[in-house]
A = this chain, B = another copy of it.
């Protein structure tokens, strides 16, 4: 698959999920290579509160649907990197 263009709002997500979708902090999931439909649904569920994660709801609140979709495509297209250590 072709690599999507780098999303303009990537920095917002990258602080916790990394630019390539490998989690940077405890509690945050890896997103690299995750199924696109799953990521889209997760974003929808965070936005409408059916997944009640205040940080995620606040983070994506101001982001347009088009930008969210670009972010989902970006992360889904990344290749997961081996992690050095699992806790």
List the interface of chain A (C-beta within 8 A of B).
Answer: 1, 23, 26-30, 32-38, 41, 50-52, 76-77, 79-80, 82-83, 85-87
Nearest-neighbour CB distance to chain B for A70, whole angstroms, equals 14
Residue in B35, B79, B87 whose CB lies within 8 Å of A76: B87
| Most B C-beta atoms less than 10 A away, residue of A1, A29, A85 | A29
In the complex, what residues of B have CB within 8 A of residue A26's CB?
35, 37
Nearest-neighbour CB distance to chain B for A76, whole angstroms, equals 5
The docked-state distance in angstroms from the alpha carbon of A1 to that of B86 is: 7
User: Is B34 a contact of A29 with CB atoms below 8 Å?
Assistant: yes
User: Is B50 a contact of A85 with CB atoms below 8 Å?
Assistant: no
